[in-house]
Amino acid sequence: MRLLVKAPAKINLSLDVLHKRPDGYHEVKMVMTTIDLADRIELIPLSSDTIKIISHNRFVPDDHRNLAYQAAKLLKETFGIREGVAISITKTIPVAAGLAGGSSDAAATLRGLNKLWKLGLTLDQLAELGAKIGSDVSFCVYGGTAIATGRGEKIEHIPAPPPCWVILAKPTIGVSTAEVYRNLNLNTITHPDVDGMVQAIKSQNYERICSLVGNVLEDVTLRKYPEVANIKEQMKRFGADAVLMSGSGPTVFGLVQYDSRLQRIYNGLRGFCDQVFTVRLLGERNSLD
Protein backbone atom coordinates (compact mmCIF):
# COMPACT_ATOMS: atom_id res chain seq x y z
CA MET A 1 0.00 0.00 0.00
CA ARG A 2 1.48 3.34 -1.06
CA LEU A 3 0.70 6.34 1.08
CA LEU A 4 0.69 10.01 0.07
CA VAL A 5 1.30 12.66 2.75
CA LYS A 6 1.24 16.45 2.44
CA ALA A 7 4.18 18.41 3.91
CA PRO A 8 3.29 22.12 4.11
CA ALA A 9 5.73 24.99 4.64
CA LYS A 10 5.64 27.36 7.61
CA ILE A 11 6.32 31.04 8.08
CA ASN A 12 7.31 32.87 11.26
CA LEU A 13 5.03 35.78 12.05
CA SER A 14 7.26 36.57 15.01
CA LEU A 15 10.72 35.20 15.87
CA ASP A 16 12.66 36.18 18.97
CA VAL A 17 15.92 34.79 20.37
CA LEU A 18 16.19 35.15 24.14
CA HIS A 19 19.62 33.77 25.06
CA LYS A 20 22.22 31.10 24.38
CA ARG A 21 21.54 27.87 26.26
CA PRO A 22 24.11 25.68 28.07
CA ASP A 23 23.54 22.97 25.42
CA GLY A 24 24.73 25.34 22.67
CA TYR A 25 21.28 25.96 21.20
CA HIS A 26 19.48 29.29 21.40
CA GLU A 27 16.34 29.79 23.48
CA VAL A 28 13.67 31.06 21.09
CA LYS A 29 10.10 32.30 21.24
CA MET A 30 8.25 32.23 17.93
CA VAL A 31 4.81 32.33 16.39
CA MET A 32 4.63 29.94 13.45
CA THR A 33 1.79 29.15 11.06
CA THR A 34 1.43 26.75 8.13
CA ILE A 35 0.84 27.94 4.58
CA ASP A 36 -0.60 26.22 1.53
CA LEU A 37 2.73 25.54 -0.16
CA ALA A 38 3.57 21.89 0.26
CA ASP A 39 5.92 19.10 -0.71
CA ARG A 40 4.41 15.72 -1.50
CA ILE A 41 5.76 12.66 0.28
CA GLU A 42 4.98 9.20 -1.10
CA LEU A 43 5.79 6.21 1.11
CA ILE A 44 6.29 2.93 -0.73
CA PRO A 45 6.78 -0.32 1.25
CA LEU A 46 9.91 -2.31 0.37
CA SER A 47 10.47 -6.03 0.90
CA SER A 48 14.09 -5.41 1.98
CA ASP A 49 14.91 -3.85 5.36
CA THR A 50 16.21 -0.57 3.91
CA ILE A 51 15.35 3.12 3.65
CA LYS A 52 15.56 4.63 0.19
CA ILE A 53 15.14 8.32 -0.66
CA ILE A 54 13.85 9.17 -4.14
CA SER A 55 14.17 12.82 -5.11
CA HIS A 56 14.43 14.60 -8.44
CA ASN A 57 15.89 17.73 -6.84
CA ARG A 58 19.69 17.78 -6.91
CA PHE A 59 19.80 19.95 -3.78
CA VAL A 60 17.98 17.30 -1.70
CA PRO A 61 20.35 14.69 -0.20
CA ASP A 62 19.33 11.07 -0.77
CA ASP A 63 21.23 9.63 2.20
CA HIS A 64 21.38 9.89 6.02
CA ARG A 65 21.60 13.73 5.80
CA ASN A 66 17.99 13.84 4.62
CA LEU A 67 15.60 14.58 7.50
CA ALA A 68 12.91 12.27 6.08
CA TYR A 69 15.51 9.47 6.06
CA GLN A 70 16.33 10.31 9.70
CA ALA A 71 12.62 10.18 10.59
CA ALA A 72 12.22 6.70 9.11
CA LYS A 73 15.45 5.49 10.75
CA LEU A 74 14.34 6.84 14.14
CA LEU A 75 11.01 4.98 13.96
CA LYS A 76 12.69 1.77 12.80
CA GLU A 77 15.25 1.87 15.63
CA THR A 78 12.80 2.98 18.34
CA PHE A 79 10.15 0.37 17.57
CA GLY A 80 12.23 -2.44 16.08
CA ILE A 81 10.64 -2.20 12.63
CA ARG A 82 12.07 -4.70 10.16
CA GLU A 83 10.16 -3.38 7.14
CA GLY A 84 11.74 -1.16 4.51
CA VAL A 85 10.39 1.96 2.82
CA ALA A 86 11.10 4.11 -0.19
CA ILE A 87 10.40 7.79 0.47
CA SER A 88 9.66 9.74 -2.69
CA ILE A 89 9.93 13.50 -2.16
CA THR A 90 8.36 15.83 -4.71
CA LYS A 91 9.60 19.30 -3.78
CA THR A 92 7.52 22.45 -4.15
CA ILE A 93 8.93 24.26 -1.11
CA PRO A 94 12.28 25.85 -2.06
CA VAL A 95 15.34 24.25 -0.43
CA ALA A 96 17.26 26.12 2.32
CA ALA A 97 14.64 28.86 2.28
CA GLY A 98 13.63 29.43 5.92
CA LEU A 99 10.29 27.68 5.28
CA ALA A 100 11.01 24.40 7.14
CA GLY A 101 10.79 22.29 3.98
CA GLY A 102 13.12 19.56 5.25
CA SER A 103 11.51 19.57 8.70
CA SER A 104 8.04 19.30 7.17
CA ASP A 105 9.19 16.37 5.00
CA ALA A 106 10.44 14.64 8.17
CA ALA A 107 7.18 15.37 10.01
CA ALA A 108 5.11 14.05 7.09
CA THR A 109 7.27 10.90 7.06
CA LEU A 110 6.64 10.38 10.78
CA ARG A 111 2.86 10.81 10.35
CA GLY A 112 2.75 8.60 7.27
CA LEU A 113 4.89 5.76 8.63
CA ASN A 114 2.85 5.82 11.83
CA LYS A 115 -0.12 4.80 9.63
CA LEU A 116 1.80 2.54 7.26
CA TRP A 117 3.48 0.57 10.04
CA LYS A 118 0.37 0.72 12.30
CA LEU A 119 2.32 2.10 15.26
CA GLY A 120 -0.70 3.82 16.84
CA LEU A 121 1.30 6.81 18.08
CA THR A 122 -0.42 10.09 18.98
CA LEU A 123 0.62 13.40 17.42
CA ASP A 124 2.15 14.35 20.79
CA GLN A 125 4.31 11.23 20.72
CA LEU A 126 5.32 11.87 17.10
CA ALA A 127 6.18 15.49 17.95
CA GLU A 128 8.37 14.31 20.83
CA LEU A 129 10.22 11.99 18.45
CA GLY A 130 10.43 14.77 15.87
CA ALA A 131 12.30 17.01 18.35
CA LYS A 132 15.22 14.55 18.15
CA ILE A 133 15.52 15.23 14.40
CA GLY A 134 15.30 19.02 14.26
CA SER A 135 13.88 22.05 16.07
CA ASP A 136 11.02 22.73 13.60
CA VAL A 137 9.92 19.10 13.18
CA SER A 138 7.69 19.10 16.28
CA PHE A 139 5.67 22.06 15.00
CA CYS A 140 5.44 20.52 11.53
CA VAL A 141 4.00 17.29 12.96
CA TYR A 142 0.98 19.28 14.16
CA GLY A 143 0.72 22.10 11.63
CA GLY A 144 -1.68 24.93 12.36
CA THR A 145 -0.57 27.98 14.34
CA ALA A 146 1.48 27.86 17.52
CA ILE A 147 3.88 29.52 19.91
CA ALA A 148 7.16 27.60 19.85
CA THR A 149 9.62 27.93 22.72
CA GLY A 150 12.72 26.12 24.01
CA ARG A 151 14.82 25.50 20.92
CA GLY A 152 11.54 25.43 18.97
CA GLU A 153 10.27 22.04 20.13
CA LYS A 154 7.85 23.17 22.88
CA ILE A 155 4.55 23.84 21.14
CA GLU A 156 1.49 25.72 22.42
CA HIS A 157 -1.38 25.82 19.95
CA ILE A 158 -3.26 29.06 19.31
CA PRO A 159 -6.10 29.95 16.89
CA ALA A 160 -5.38 30.57 13.21
CA PRO A 161 -4.79 34.16 12.07
CA PRO A 162 -7.55 35.77 9.99
CA PRO A 163 -7.56 34.55 6.36
CA CYS A 164 -5.25 36.35 3.96
CA TRP A 165 -2.91 35.76 1.06
CA VAL A 166 0.79 35.10 1.54
CA ILE A 167 3.21 36.02 -1.23
CA LEU A 168 6.69 34.50 -1.01
CA ALA A 169 9.84 35.42 -2.88
CA LYS A 170 13.13 33.50 -2.61
CA PRO A 171 16.34 34.79 -4.20
CA THR A 172 18.74 32.29 -5.79
CA ILE A 173 20.86 31.87 -2.66
CA GLY A 174 20.80 29.50 0.29
CA VAL A 175 21.39 30.65 3.86
CA SER A 176 23.00 28.61 6.64
CA THR A 177 20.85 28.81 9.77
CA ALA A 178 23.85 27.93 11.95
CA GLU A 179 25.87 30.77 10.44
CA VAL A 180 23.05 33.29 10.98
CA TYR A 181 22.80 32.31 14.66
CA ARG A 182 26.60 32.51 15.03
CA ASN A 183 26.53 36.11 13.77
CA LEU A 184 23.60 37.18 15.95
CA ASN A 185 24.56 39.76 18.59
CA LEU A 186 22.17 39.23 21.49
CA ASN A 187 23.26 42.51 23.10
CA THR A 188 22.08 44.73 20.25
CA ILE A 189 18.93 43.06 18.89
CA THR A 190 15.49 44.64 19.14
CA HIS A 191 13.06 42.03 20.44
CA PRO A 192 9.73 41.72 18.62
CA ASP A 193 6.51 41.76 20.65
CA VAL A 194 5.68 38.04 20.49
CA ASP A 195 3.01 38.25 23.20
CA GLY A 196 1.38 41.17 21.36
CA MET A 197 1.35 39.08 18.17
CA VAL A 198 -0.37 36.22 20.01
CA GLN A 199 -3.04 38.59 21.35
CA ALA A 200 -3.55 40.14 17.90
CA ILE A 201 -4.09 36.65 16.43
CA LYS A 202 -6.48 35.65 19.21
CA SER A 203 -8.50 38.84 18.66
CA GLN A 204 -8.34 38.35 14.86
CA ASN A 205 -6.95 41.86 14.41
CA TYR A 206 -5.34 41.73 10.96
CA GLU A 207 -3.97 45.30 11.03
CA ARG A 208 -2.29 44.73 14.39
CA ILE A 209 -0.81 41.42 13.21
CA CYS A 210 0.69 43.30 10.27
CA SER A 211 2.14 45.99 12.53
CA LEU A 212 3.76 43.46 14.90
CA VAL A 213 5.57 41.08 12.51
CA GLY A 214 9.21 40.82 13.55
CA ASN A 215 12.25 38.57 13.21
CA VAL A 216 15.52 39.15 15.10
CA LEU A 217 17.46 37.08 12.54
CA GLU A 218 16.54 39.48 9.74
CA ASP A 219 19.29 42.04 10.39
CA VAL A 220 22.02 39.39 10.19
CA THR A 221 20.80 37.98 6.87
CA LEU A 222 19.98 41.38 5.35
CA ARG A 223 23.48 42.67 6.13
CA LYS A 224 25.15 39.71 4.47
CA TYR A 225 22.75 39.32 1.52
CA PRO A 226 21.66 42.67 0.01
CA GLU A 227 19.37 40.83 -2.44
CA VAL A 228 17.14 39.80 0.50
CA ALA A 229 16.91 43.43 1.65
CA ASN A 230 16.06 44.43 -1.93
CA ILE A 231 13.20 41.92 -2.15
CA LYS A 232 11.85 43.19 1.16
CA GLU A 233 11.93 46.80 -0.03
CA GLN A 234 10.30 45.96 -3.38
CA MET A 235 7.54 43.94 -1.73
CA LYS A 236 6.73 46.90 0.53
CA ARG A 237 6.82 49.24 -2.46
CA PHE A 238 4.41 47.05 -4.43
CA GLY A 239 1.90 47.29 -1.56
CA ALA A 240 2.03 44.25 0.74
CA ASP A 241 0.35 44.87 4.10
CA ALA A 242 3.29 43.41 6.07
CA VAL A 243 6.69 42.14 4.92
CA LEU A 244 9.12 39.92 6.83
CA MET A 245 11.88 37.39 6.26
CA SER A 246 10.88 33.87 7.34
CA GLY A 247 13.17 31.95 9.70
CA SER A 248 16.85 32.52 8.94
CA GLY A 249 15.94 33.36 5.34
CA PRO A 250 16.42 34.04 2.57
CA THR A 251 12.69 33.82 1.71
CA VAL A 252 10.72 37.01 2.27
CA PHE A 253 6.95 36.86 2.69
CA GLY A 254 4.26 39.49 2.45
CA LEU A 255 0.73 39.38 3.87
CA VAL A 256 -1.93 40.66 1.50
CA GLN A 257 -5.62 40.96 2.34
CA TYR A 258 -7.10 41.88 -1.03
CA ASP A 259 -6.91 39.88 -4.26
CA SER A 260 -6.69 43.04 -6.36
CA ARG A 261 -3.29 43.94 -4.90
CA LEU A 262 -1.92 40.40 -5.05
CA GLN A 263 -1.41 40.19 -8.82
CA ARG A 264 0.38 43.53 -8.93
CA ILE A 265 2.84 42.44 -6.24
CA TYR A 266 3.36 39.05 -7.89
CA ASN A 267 4.05 40.59 -11.31
CA GLY A 268 6.40 43.17 -9.81
CA LEU A 269 8.45 40.54 -7.96
CA ARG A 270 8.59 38.19 -10.95
CA GLY A 271 10.49 40.92 -12.75
CA PHE A 272 13.66 40.17 -10.75
CA CYS A 273 13.01 37.02 -8.68
CA ASP A 274 12.48 33.54 -10.19
CA GLN A 275 10.83 31.82 -7.23
CA VAL A 276 7.64 33.68 -6.35
CA PHE A 277 4.55 31.98 -4.90
CA THR A 278 1.09 33.17 -3.89
CA VAL A 279 -0.66 30.92 -1.37
CA ARG A 280 -3.20 31.06 1.42
CA LEU A 281 -2.58 30.68 5.13
CA LEU A 282 -3.59 27.21 6.32
CA GLY A 283 -3.35 28.19 9.97
CA GLU A 284 -5.74 25.56 11.37
CA ARG A 285 -4.62 22.31 12.93
CA ASN A 286 -5.66 19.11 11.16
CA SER A 287 -5.27 20.84 7.78
CA LEU A 288 -2.48 18.50 6.74
CA ASP A 289 -4.43 15.73 5.00
Q: Which of 16, 105, 136, 219 is catalytic?
A: 136
- List the one residue out of 65, 28, 62 whose CA is nearest residue 184: 28
Catalytic residue among 10, 29, 76, 232: 10
Measure the CA–CA gap between 251 and 238, rounded to whole angstroms.
17
The closest alpha carbon to 98, from 170, 42, 153, 28, belongs to 170
DSSP for 115-168, written as a single string: HHTT----HHHHHHHHTTT-TTHHHHHH-SEEEEETTTTEEEE-PPPPP-EEEE
Say how far apart CA 50 and CA 28 lie, in whole Å: 36
Active site residue 29: no
Kindly give the pairing relationship between strand 51-55 and strand 154-157. unpaired
User: Is residue 10 among the annotated active site residues?
Assistant: yes
Residue 159, preceding bond cis, omega within 30 degrees?
A: no
SS3 260: helix
Q: How far are the Cα atoms of 95, 137, 157, 225 from residue 176, in angstroms, in the given order?
A: 11, 17, 28, 12
All residues at 6 or more sequence positions from 157 whose CB lies less than 8 Å from its CB, including other chains = 142, 144, 145, 146, 285
Active site residues: 10, 136
